[in-house]
Each structure stands twice: as C-alpha cells, then as structure tokens.
Chains A and B, each alone.
Chain A
Amino acid sequence: MKLFLYVLTQVCITLVSVCGIYILTGLTGMFSLGSAAFMAIGAYVSGLLVLKAGLNMYAAFAAAIIFSVGIGYVIGFPIVRLRRDYISLVTLGFGESIAQLILLLSQFTGGAFGLIGVPRRVNVWFTLISAVIVIAITAFFKTSKFGRQCIAVKSDELAAQAMGINASRVKMTAFLMSCALTSFAGCLYAFYVGYVGPTDFGWKKSADWVIMVFFGGVNSLTGSIFGGAFLTFLPQYMQALNKYRYIVYAVLVLIILNFKPNGVFGEWELSPRNLKRLFSPKKNRREDV
C-alpha cells in the first residue's frame, strides 16, 4: 500500500507535466527537449522562496509559476518563429544550460548537493487533487478557441494564418501554458520529496514525457494521461525491469508507432458522447447507412 501511494504520487506529478507536454506537443506540434528545465525552475524557485525567504508555500508556488512563465516568455520569442525541428534544439540547449546554471549558482542552490531540507508539506492527496484540476484545465483548454487554434496551427500553419490565426501568438500561448504546468509539477515534486537535485531534470526527463504523450495518443488527452500513468506505473512495479527501462520503453514505443502510428488512443477522447457511441454499436451502424 505504501509503495502504491508512493507510485501514485509519482504518477500524479508526472501527469501534471504530461498535461503541459500534451498542450505543447500534442495540440501544437512543438517538440521540446527542455521542458524538464521548467520543472527544475519550479522546484528550485519554490523551494528557495520557502527555505530562504520564509514565504508561505502557496505563495511560493504562485511565484515560481509566474517566474517560469516569465522565463518562458523570453525564450519563447525565438522558439515560436522557428521550424519544428529547430525548436527541439533550442529547448535542448536551454534545458542543459539551466542544469549547468544550477550547479554554478551553488551558494543559492546547493550546487551538486542539491537543495536539502525543503519541508515535505505535499502528500498524495494534494498531488492527486492537483492532477485532477490540471487535467480539467487542460481539457477545457483543448475545447476552447485556444485549443482549436493550436490544432489548426499544428495541422497547417500557412492555412491557419490565412484564416486570420496569429500563429506565433497561438504557439506562445501553448508554450507558456506548458511552462506553467511543468513548473507546477516541479513545485509539487520539491515539496513531496523534500529534496531537489540538479541531475533530476535532464533532457531525458523531457524526452520521457514526449514518449508518454506519443505512446498514449498524440491527439488525445485521454491517451496522454493513459501513457503517462502506464509508463510511470510499469517500471515501478517491475523492479526487475528497471535496469532495462529504456529498452522496454523503446520496444513499446516502436511497437505502438509501428502498429498504431497515432498512439494507443489515437484521437479518441473520453467523453460522455464518445462513451455512448462506444457502447451502442448498433445505433452507430444504423447512422452510417
């Protein structure tokens, strides 16, 4: 049970950041290999504000998220004007430089020792409620005018602009949403684990999240959440596999991409209407004819 609650917390924190990646990669088609850096910023800024400035935890969360969005705004400027493949390169460079910066600013961040003694004030229920709220926010975002415009830009940027959509602005909105959510995941992480290490947030973590989104279904929030939960649970419950985790990952992703190029769920979303359709195949067939 204890293990389950521990893993559940990991899953919830992962899901918060996966929602961010879903908005960025799933909806808008931008691949980031530096998203974990925003998790680091969230974790360090909130942790430091509580430890060194004695701020209230919730205020520290808000401040950390606002700070991340500010940083995101600055590096977002070049990013939203770049082609997809270059976005990965810029974010990769940004992510790695943040990791170095954390090591260099050792008088604040504790350098290679990490940030020790963050009060462990976040428990499993806090992360669970956070994850549910974040998922709801993401679902609302997807069905809003912002979500539609994101999908339009991903599908065909030139046509989107010809329909009056300001593609740079739409991409910036998606990027900042993603920054805010990953940063929030960082806050949760810091105050759950009680320790923030500089090596926890490399590009591999960002790549993990992208894999989760692709595995579950790049066009489907339901799928991304499934991917995030499944691929976090799996290695924890197959400890023997842990060493081969990336091999399992790679094989699973290869199998999925080979046989279901759009991920497990494809475009299917969990909604009352889709459920009704799923369970009344007869009626569905009649409609087709």
Chain B
Amino acid sequence: MALLEIRHIYKNFGGLRAIDDFSLEANAGEIHGIIGPNGAGKTTIFNTITGVYHPDQGEVWLDGNNITKLPQYKITHMGIGRTFQNIRIFKGLTVEENVMCAFDPQSKYSIIGGILPTPNRIREERRGRELTRQYLDVVGMLGYKDEKPENLSYGNQRKVEIARALICKPKVLLLDEPAAGLTPTEVSELTDLIRKISADFGFAILLIEHRLDLVMSISDTIHVQNFGKTIASGTAKEVQNDPAVIEAYLGAEE
C-alpha cells in the first residue's frame, strides 16, 4: 500500500464539478507534479486532501489510515503539511514564532504552564525553539528569525511557509504553486530547496505549479488536470507528447 492513496475523489460546488474522479498514489521520496490550466481544480484537490473540504465521494488514505472525514487539524497531525498559493503567514508573530506555533500543538504543557513559568513549560519551549531554529536553518532563514514576516521578500516568505510546514513532521508535503511571484533566481533557489528536503526528509511531495520548466525538471510523475478531470499522467516525457495535454494547453488543431 502506498503512503498516500487518493481513491476516486469527487467534489462539486453547486453545479460545478471541481474534481471529477481524481486518483493518485504517492510513495515516500517521490515528487508528484499536478499541472493544468486555471480553474482545473488543482487547489481543490489540495483542499480536499487537507480537510478544508470533504470529498463528495471517494477516500483519502494516509499510511494505512482513512483520513477522509477527519477535521483539518487532525489531518495535519496525521502527517500532511502544506503551503498556500497566496502566502498565508501569520501577521503579528515574528518569523521564529510563525514556525514555532506550528510546533505548539505537539508541545506538552497544560494551561498552568500557560500562565506560570513551570519547569515543564521552560523545557518544552526550549525544545520547540531548538527545533524551530533547526528547520529555519534547513530553509536558510535562520538569520531572519526576529523579523516580521510581512517585511520579507516573497521568496523568503515562501521559505518561512515551508519551514512552518516541515515542523509539523509531515509524511506528505503539499506545495501549492510555490514559485508563484518569485524572481528567476528565487525559483532556482526554491527548486534546489525542494530537491534537498525531498532527499533529506524522504517524504512524498505533491506540487502544484504553473512553471512547466520547474515541474518537468523535478517531478517523478506528472498529473495533468483539465476541468476537474485527469487527462494524462506519467513521466514528464510521456505527458509532454500526450495529444490531450497539447490540446488542453494549446488548443486542438483546426
């Protein structure tokens, strides 16, 4: 059984069929790219996996557990981390606190420790801070830990978001258009980072991306979506030559 198994999920919004029979199997260490024109239902797939919506039909299994109907925060605890298409960093917290608050659900101290500096609190806070710094170092943002995230460049905000997802200890990492709005240098930095974390942490990565060069170069398998349907899936070479894909992207030949 694969690490992540998405079995024939469907999702309708009123009359709109956002996901029409999507299936995927991902194993540890693999990178899956999901591409397709705007409105093809890519982000809806991510939102359905992470529990923002629940699918109308079909199931999502993670590491042998059915996570289809779990609330969003529990799905994260089970081992799915994500970043967002339009960056969703917490304002009012520093870079370090942003990452640390994703560790906080795992932090073990009670409300007594919430209002008094108990030894337990001090120990857990230290553990959280050390882990946070470790992950900030992985994404190369340790030097910015006391900054306000909204003052950082777009690329650096993305890295903070990735660190925040990493500290949730995911088995599967979902990256929703990580290269959107980045400069070419930032894109190549990001590509290296994704390769690096994929090799170091050995989780499965699902990647939605419009930059075909990025997707084609790092994905093991590519799924092409159009109007909610999967029109092709396979390696980069296979989908590039698929007539259905060419039709969806360039239009049919007259």
Point out residues on A near B: beta carbons under 8 Å: 137, 140-141, 144-149, 151-152, 154-156, 158-167, 173, 219, 267
Contacts A155-B92, A159-B90, A163-B76 given; indicate if A148 touches B52 (C-beta within 8 A): no
Cβ contacts under 8 Å, A159 to chain B: 84, 88-90
With the chains together, A181 CA to B240 CA distance in Å? 63
Chain A residues, CB < 8 A from B76: 161-164
Question: Please, how many angstroms separate the alpha-carbon atoms of A156 and B101 in the complex?
Answer: 13
Of the residues A141, A144, A154, A161, contact of B72 by C-beta under 8 Å: A161
Query: Which residues of chain B are near A154, meaning CB under 8 Å?
Result: 92
Chain B residues with CB under 8 A of A173: 111, 114
- A149:B101 contact, CB within 8 angstroms: yes
Within 8 A of A (CB), among B52-108: 52, 71-73, 76-77, 82, 84, 88-93, 97-98, 100-102, 104-107
Establish whether residues A140 and B114, one from each chain, have CB atoms under 8 Å apart when the complex forms.
yes
Does B251 belong to the interface (CB within 8 Å)? no
Q: Determine which of A140, A152, A161, A166 lies in contact with B90 in the assembled complex, contact meaning CB atoms within 8 Å.
A: A152
Contact of B105 among A137, A141, A166, A267 (CB under 8 A): A166
Q: Which residue of B lies closest to A147 (CB)?
A: B114
CB distance from A275 to the nearest CB of B (A): 16
Whether A165 pairs with B73 at a CB distance below 8 angstroms is yes
In Å, the complex CA distance between A161 and B101 comes to 11
**Which of the residues B88, B98, B128 comes within 8 Å of A145, measured between beta carbons?**
B128
Asked whether, in the complex, the Cβ of B91 is within 8 Å of the Cβ of A164, the reply is no
Point out the residues of chain A lying under 8 angstroms from B100, CB to CB: 148
User: What's the minimum C-beta distance from B159 to chain A, rounded to whole angstroms?
Assistant: 16
Majority secondary structure, A binding face:
helix
Nearest CB to that of A159 among chain B residues?
B88
Contacts of A145 in B (CB 8 A): 101, 104, 107, 109, 114, 124-125, 128
B164 engages A163 (CB within 8 Å): yes
Task: Assess whether B90 is in contact with A141, with CB atoms less than 8 Å apart.
Answer: no
Q: How far is the CA of A145 from the CA of B104 in the complex (A)?
A: 6
B113 interface contact, C-beta 8 A: yes
B109 touches A156 (CB 8 A): no
How far is the CB of B100 from the nearest CB of chain A, in Å? 6
- Give chain A residues whose Cβ lies under 8 Å from the Cβ of B171: none
Indicate whether A141 sits within 8 Å of B82 (C-beta atoms), given known contacts A148-B97, A148-B104, A155-B91: no
Contact yes or no, A144 B114, CB < 8 A: yes
Jot down 23 A-B pairs with beta carbons below 8 A, ordered by A. Answer: A137-B115, A140-B116, A144-B109, A144-B113, A144-B115, A145-B107, A145-B125, A148-B93, A148-B101, A148-B104, A149-B105, A151-B92, A152-B98, A161-B71, A161-B72, A161-B76, A162-B72, A163-B165, A164-B77, A165-B73, A165-B102, A166-B105, A219-B92
